Amino acid sequence: METVYLEFKKQLATVDSSTALENLKSQYLGRNGVLKKLKSNTDLKTSTTEEKRAFGLMFNELKSQIQLMVEEKQVILEQKPSSNPIDLTLPGIKKAPGRLHPISQVQDDLENICLSMGFKVLGGAEMETDYNNFASLNTPDDHPARDMQDTFWLNNGKLLRTQTSANQVQTLRRYGAPLRAVFPGKCFRYETTDATHENTFYQMEGLVVDENISIANLIAVMKEIISAVFKREVTVRLRPGYFPFVEPAFELDIQCLICHGQGCPGCKKAGWLELLPCGLIHPVVLKNGNIDGEKYTGFAFGLGLTRLAMMKFQIPDIRLFNSGDFRFLEQF
């Protein structure tokens, strides 16, 4: 038995792969292996019980020794570095870090500007009731102003909000007066897209309610926000507008920063871009928001955040923002 043990040990020393180890293992422990033959070739017929017992013990000991050595060798082979080690001198794979979407960048900017001016920044649901999106805003069922905002109606009777104004009455009821709040978010309109219209775009609504609020306050705040966001002098114009929930209503347009008023696809050749409708809050809306209209007045604005991002980054087509095109997004 000692010869078998020494021979196995010698052969094991030359093994350098799992396949070779597997072969050696079956050569010794397999069905017709060396150990099997050793057992069957040993004639114990004339041996005493004591001798048979001694043989059995030694045989078992040899077998477990061989099994143990095979297992140990297996562990060593698994730890052995592969013949094809990692080349530490190769250049690494560059990972492109994520970045904020240009709309998020503009939204962050706006939020910080408004926070610094004492506004609360609030959120709001994208699926809304007819009441919040229209009826509470002095726009009842049969009001023609509903046609200005083509609506995605949902099977559950609700709608995808067409305007962040859907948050006006909810906010007035929740926070009361005096109040200074903005609520940026996504809006949805069932309309054909073009260079300046998307079916999914962002607005940022603003509400200010206090005693003695006038149009002068409204204009001052609008100017402050716009010049802070563009970080330069921009040309704006104010013209009369119409929204059932503000009276009087205005449209504040910005001179196109892409063509400087000359006319380009980004402003549909108008030289101006409709950006910031606004006005003094209608008494009906104040009443719906449980605000004492005798004591308080206020103004509201609905900034076109996606259009503002177009102007800020000089993007000639609004559809690029939602395109998911990395060649576009990686520029920001």
Task: Give the number of residues written for the chain.
Answer: 332
* Least distance from ligand FA5 to the Cβ atom of residue 203, Å: 5
Phi, psi of 243 (to 5 degrees): -145, 135
Does 8 sit near ligand FA5 (CB under 6 A)?
no
Residue of closest CB approach to ligand FA5: 304
Does 197 sit near ligand FA5 (CB under 6 A)?
yes
CA distances from 36 to 2, 29, 219, 272 (A): 15, 7, 101, 96
> Would you say 24 or 182 has its CB closer to ligand FA5?
182
Question: Please, what's the largest Cα pairwise distance for the chain?
Answer: 123
Does 198 sit near ligand FA5 (CB under 6 A)?
yes
Does 191 sit near ligand FA5 (CB under 6 A)?
yes
Q: How many CA atoms lie within 13 A of 114 on its CB side?
A: 24
Q: Pick one of 111, 210, 274, 317: the residue that binds ligand FA5 (CB under 6 A).
A: 274
> Would you say 21 or 298 has its CB closer to ligand FA5?
298
Does 128 sit near ligand FA5 (CB under 6 A)?
no
* Least distance from ligand FA5 to the Cβ atom of residue 141, Å: 18
Q: Pick one of 163, 170, 255, 288: the residue that binds ligand FA5 (CB under 6 A).
A: 163
> Would you say 66 or 185 has its CB closer to ligand FA5?
185
Q: Pick one of 165, 171, 255, 288: the residue that binds ligand FA5 (CB under 6 A).
A: 165
Residues 229 to 258 in contact with ligand FA5, rule: CB under 6 A: 243, 246, 249
Q: Pick one of 183, 201, 272, 296: the residue that binds ligand FA5 (CB under 6 A).
A: 201
Q: How many CA atoms lie within 13 A of 178 on its CB side?
A: 7
How many residues contact ligand FA5, by CB under 6 A? 25
Pairing of strands 236-240, 246-255: antiparallel
Residues 297 to 316 in contact with ligand FA5, rule: CB under 6 A: 300-302, 304, 306-307
Q: Pick one of 275, 280, 291, 315: the residue that binds ligand FA5 (CB under 6 A).
A: 275
Q: By C-alpha distance, which of 228, 226, 181 is closest to 208?
A: 181
> Would you say 165 or 297 has its CB closer to ligand FA5?
165
> Would you say 28 or 301 has its CB closer to ligand FA5?
301
Does 277 sit near ligand FA5 (CB under 6 A)?
yes
Residue 200 CB partners (closer than 8 Å, separation 6+): 186, 187, 188, 322
Q: By C-alpha distance, which of 236, 225, 252, 251 is closest to 111?
A: 225
Does 203 sit near ligand FA5 (CB under 6 A)?
yes
Give the orientation angle of helix 305-313 with respect to helix 102-116, to 10 degrees: 110
* Least distance from ligand FA5 to the Cβ atom of residue 315, Å: 12
Instruction: Please list, residue by residue across 263-292, b when 16 or more beta carbons sit within 10 angstroms of its beta carbon and e when fewer do.
Output: ebebbbebbbbbbbbbbbbbebbbebbebe
Instruction: Specify the stretch interacting with ligand FA5 by CB under 6 A; choose among 42-50, 79-87, 89-97, 194-202.
Output: 194-202
Does 189 sit near ligand FA5 (CB under 6 A)?
yes
Binding site for ligand FA5 (CB under 6 A): 149, 163, 165, 189, 191, 197-198, 201, 203, 205, 243, 246, 249, 274-275, 277-279, 300-302, 304, 306-307, 318
